[in-house]
Amino acid sequence: MLPPRAKPDKLEDRVSETTTTRPRVAVVTGAGSGIGRAVARLLLAEGYRVALAGRREAQLLETADGHREALVVPCDVTAPDDVARLFEAARQRWGRVDVLFNNAGIFGPSGGVDEISVADWNATLSVNVTGSMLCAAEAVRTMKAQEPQGGRIINNGSISAHSPRPLSVAYTVSKHAMSGLTKSIELDGRPYGITCGQIDIGNTRTEIMDTIGVGSGALQADGSRRVEPMFPVEDAARAVLMMANMPASANVGSVVVTAAGMPFVGRG
Q: What is the dihedral of CA 241, 247, 249, 255, to 10 degrees?
A: -20
Per the annotation, the verdict on 171 as an active-site residue is yes
137 class by beta-carbon count within 10 Å (0-12 exposed, 13-18 middle, 19+ buried): middle
Q: Are 24 and 46 in contact (CB under 8 A)?
A: no
Give the distance, in angstroms, between the CA of residue 54 and the centroid of all CA atoms in the same chain.
12
* Residues near 69 by beta carbon (within 8 Å), at least 6 away in sequence: 23, 44, 48, 49, 50
3-class secondary structure, 194: strand
Catalytic position from the list 48, 87, 101, 171: 171
Quote the CA–CA distance of 199 and 45 in Å, as a whole number: 21
Contact call for residues 157 and 178 (beta carbons, < 8 A)? yes
Cα–Cα distance for residue pair 15/48, rounded to 1 Å: 19
The helix, strand and coil proportions of the chain, stated in percent and rounded to the nearest 5, come to 45, 20, 40
What residues are annotated to the active site? 171
